[in-house]
Structure 1
Amino acid sequence: MKLFKKKRVYIPIHVDRTQQEDTTVPVVPNGMFTKCPQCQKSIYTKDLGHDKICPECGYSFRICATERIELIADEGSFEEWDKEMALSNPLDFPGYEEKWKQAQVKANTNEAVVTGKATINGHQTVICVMDSTFIMGSMGQIVGEKITRAVERATAEELSVVIFTASGGARMQEGIISLMQMAKISGAIAQHSKAGLLYITVLTDPTTGGVTASFAMQGDIILSEPRALVGFAGKRVIEQTIKETLPDEFQLAESVMENGFIDKIVPRNELKNTLGKLLKLHEK
């Protein structure tokens, strides 16, 4: 006799479909909300406004060259220079041409810098705007050539120069050719300075590598947007080299200004008026 014989008991389960929870997931259109990288809050994209500034913490979102020109130049005054320049692949780097073409589509520009002449609050100047959406604003031979030509033309026309920097540094696909652009641009800026003309740099997020080591820090007046990343080597690289932990504010514009490398930090929505006043003071 099996005293502990197992018995299977079947309990009927009735599911009331009318009481089931609605599992339909609401569909949010792409681009309706944008997450702020600083305060981590989801912002209704339209609330960022034309300036692309977070309404919660004031963070200035990265913007492309065209958006920057629309914010800074007087309406209809911008005349673009050297728009079409052919790429060469000096190192025969595999896949470089394809990546370059993809970047053109993504950034809607032909290279990582847009140069030309415009008026800012009625004051004519030459402007160069680097674009971090184009291969992270890296500086290749076309970038160097466009900026050099713009500065040389500004010298010839006796105009001030304003350069907005945004770059991850030299373009690795071009090797030493990329690094040579630092000296070439610096030489053109030296001639512009000898002519007694004004050169202003505006550091935006991020300004790093060879751009920082050359023309970004050669301005007669150096401005920056709030909390822009400004430095040469990356924070992690430095920490691994010196075997120490660096402070959170390291390489932010505010820290760089405290150490005397930046003259003034200007919010994006005040930049146009600030540049207009500086250009007016230095007009010949």
Structure 2
Amino acid sequence: MYYKTLNKNYKVCPQCKHHFPTSSHDRIQQILDINSWRAINNNLASTDPLGFCDQKLYGKRLEDMKTKTGLLDAVQTGTGTINGIPVACGIMDFRFMGGSMGSVVGEKLTRLIEIATNLDIPVIIICASGGARMQEGMLSLMQMAKISSALQKHQQKRLIYLPILTSPTTGGVTASFAMLGDIIIAEPNALIAFAGRRVIEQTIREDLPENFQTSEYLFKHGFIDLIIPRTQLKSKIYEILCFYYN
């Protein structure tokens, strides 16, 4: 497949419709109006509070990720417009340590939601994550409650929140803000889960369906509301926002 053709089609195969992974920078271009993006808290970066070391020091792993991706952490947050409608948008990037949710990811998303609440604008979060970042221990897990609390205050003002679940959306992200939306949207055939397939099979000692933990399976069982191809995502979100504003 010619890569320019793939890029023009939002990294979706024109023949089989497979959705290839894409970066947070590409997502900004795909979802928001041209030149409308205004980054928020772009200078926040993780530290190593626990002095964690596995195969390499966590601090060294962070520096490698910053060099490789050009990002300071696994999410970009900011404001923009979708066909003229103002929105606050958080976009997770799986390239940065599997999109794992550490203290900076939680802080940036919480601040984004608080800004959206004060401005009375919708929140959109594009989820792509392996879950909580184990290198930060409890500091990572507490972000689940912090983000969820900010979303509750946003909801109390009767403002809309749209999570968009991409492949993969797993672990603590699924167990918190990814499933708290007014309308939960997913890309086709996305992996959406809390525990891994093998863990569940070994726990319940049963084989699971082949399409288990896909967006289609979750839609069939009522866990998500819409499955929207990436090529139609902007127009469909605009329709939802127009319905909300009218």
In the alignment, is residue 177 of structure 1 matched against residue 139 of structure 2?
Answer: yes
Is the Cα contact below 8 Å between 1:167 and 1:208 reproduced in 2? yes
Q: What's the counterpart of residue 39 of structure 2?
A: 80
The CA RMSD over aligned residues, in Å, is 1.1
Q: What's the counterpart of residue 203 of structure 2?
A: 241
Q: What's the counterpart of residue 111 of structure 1?
A: 73
Of structures 1 and 2, the one scoring higher in RCO (CA 8 A, sep 6+) is: 2
In the alignment, is residue 97 of structure 1 matched against residue 55 of structure 2?
Answer: no
Equivalent runs, 1:46-195 vs 2, <5 Å:
46-50=4-8, 51-94=10-53, 95-195=57-157
C-alpha distance in structure 1 between counterparts of 2:103 and 2:78, whole Å:
18
Is the Cα contact below 8 Å between 1:64 and 1:107 reproduced in 2? no
Q: What's the counterpart of residue 45 of structure 1?
A: 3
C-alpha distance in structure 2 between counterparts of 1:203 and 1:106, whole Å:
24
Is the Cα contact below 8 Å between 1:185 and 1:215 reproduced in 2? yes
The structure that has the greater radius of gyration is 1
Is the Cα contact below 8 Å between 1:116 and 1:126 reproduced in 2? yes
Equivalent runs, 1:2-41 vs 2, <5 Å:
none
Q: What's the counterpart of residue 218 of structure 1?
A: 180
Structure 2 alignment gaps of length 5 or more: none
Is the Cα contact below 8 Å between 2:168 and 2:191 reproduced in 1? yes
**Count of aligned pairs:** 242
C-alpha distance in structure 1 between counterparts of 2:139 and 2:79, whole Å:
27
Q: What's the counterpart of residue 222 of structure 2?
A: 260
SS of equivalent residue, structure 1 residue 221: coil
C-alpha distance in structure 2 between counterparts of 1:236 and 1:54, whole Å:
29
- Greater percentage in helix: 2
What amino acid maps onto 1:238 in structure 2? I
Moved over 4 A (4+): none
Quote the sequence identity (%). Answer: 48
Is the Cα contact below 8 Å between 2:49 and 2:136 reproduced in 1? yes
What amino acid maps onto 1:225 in structure 2? E
Normalised TM-score (structure 1): 0.83
C-alpha distance in structure 2 between counterparts of 1:57 and 1:106, whole Å:
30
After the TM superposition, which of the residue ranges 231-240 and 71-80 deviates more from structure 2?
231-240
Deviation at 1:86, TM superposition (A): 3.5
C-alpha distance in structure 1 between counterparts of 2:67 and 2:108, whole Å:
20
CA displacement 1:215-241 (0-9 Å, x = unmatched):
000000111100000010011111111
SS of equivalent residue, structure 1 residue 202: strand
CA displacement 1:16-54 (0-9 Å, x = unmatched):
xxxxxxxxxxxxxxxxxxxxxxxxxxx332331330012
C-alpha distance in structure 2 between counterparts of 1:60 and 1:87, whole Å:
30
C-alpha distance in structure 1 between counterparts of 2:61 and 2:15, whole Å:
36
What amino acid maps onto 1:63 in structure 2? T
CA displacement 1:108-145 (0-9 Å, x = unmatched):
22110000000011110000000111100000000000
What amino acid maps onto 1:281 in structure 2? F
Is the Cα contact below 8 Å between 2:92 and 2:128 reproduced in 1? yes
